[in-house]
Amino acid sequence: MKQSETATHGRRAVIELREKILSGELQGGTRLFEVPLAELLDISRTPVREALSRLTEEGLLDRLPSGGFVVRRFGFSDVIDAIELRGVMEGMAARLAAERGVETEAIEKISETVRLLDDCFGEKLDEVDFDAYSELNERFHHQLAALSGSEMIRREVERASSLPFASPSAFLPDRADIASFRRSLRGAQEQHRLMVAAIAAREGSRAEAIAREHARTARRNLEYILAEDPGMISKVRGLAFIRH
């Protein structure tokens, strides 16, 4: 098999297996082996092996000492810890950016992203272009991590954000169409604006505090679903494999 074809199959395997895990089709504790998965996906073992290693790095799988892999079990406390960890890492990135100073061009780029995010909101309080917001929100957080000027910090922010429920767009309304979630995005957007302003003003402590509070949006959305509308669990990507 050509190297490019192997890479293509590997990406497809990662996407398909990740989706099966997040949808709950492959539940926590399920053991996974290369040969059956290769047959299921109709590809060779090499891209399956690479996909399993990638999903292990993302934290969705654990490697078994005896061979093979197992789908990780996640509890509510694990999710909360992951969200808090992302907040800590992004807060550190924001503080370092403010204290070390950022090139004007970098501030202009992230400010432009904030402006484009503004355009995602309509006149009504809960009117939001979710698809555009989600894409631009991810861009903002990548730019924020890079502003620290530290490749180590950038990598750790990306690592902390890699699990679906800890990512910047975790539990955003999407197809769930929860009006209160959509309205909360306006508050999150204001935090984007305040973060950039604090970094530009070299206010490290303020930038860090805003970034840490901002990360908790995912926690509040999760708590709303579990406490107020548990019927949404099956409709929000990633919740199916969290033990409640």
pLDDT of residue 217: 82
- 90-132 pLDDT, tens digit per residue, is 999 999 999 999 999 999 999 999 999 999 998 887 788 888 9
pLDDT, position 175: 45
Confidence band, pLDDT 50/70/90 cuts, at residue 241: low
pLDDT of residue 11: 86
Nearest 5°: CA angle at 83, between 78 and 88? 120
Mean pLDDT score across all residues of the chain: 85
- Predicted local confidence at residue 94, as pLDDT: 98
What is the DSSP code (8-state) at residue 121?
A: B
Q: What is the pLDDT of residues 176-201, one digit of tens each?
A: 556 666 677 888 999 999 999 999 99
Quote the CA–CA distance of 176 and 159 in Å, as a whole number.
27
| 71 SS3 class | strand
For residue 168, which amino acid is it? P
Q: Of 64, 65, 36, 38, which is closest to residue 51 (Cα–Cα)?
A: 38
- Alpha-carbon dihedral sign for residues 126, 132, 138, 139: negative
Q: Is 61 helix (H, G, I), strand (E, B) or coil?
A: strand
pLDDT-based confidence at 142, cuts 50/70/90?
very high
157 CB-contact burial (10 Å; exposed 0-12 / middle 13-18 / buried 19+): buried
| Cα–Cα distance for residue pair 240/217, rounded to 1 Å | 20
Q: Which residue has the tokens 């995010």?
A: 117
CA–CA distance, 94 with 96 (Å, rounded to integer): 6
Q: Which helix (H) or strand (E) holds 70?
A: strand 69-71
- Domain architecture of the chain: domains with CATH: 3-72 (1.10.10.10), 77-243 (1.20.120.530)
The pTM of the full predicted model, rounded to 2 decimals, is 0.76
Burial 48-78 (b: 16+ CB within 10 A, else e): bbbbbebbeebbbbeeeeeeebebbebeeeb
What pLDDT digit, counting tens, does each position of 70-97 carry? Answer: 998 888 888 888 889 999 999 999 999 9
Cα separation of 108 and 41, whole Å?
45
Q: How confident is the model over 16-42, as a mean pLDDT?
A: 87
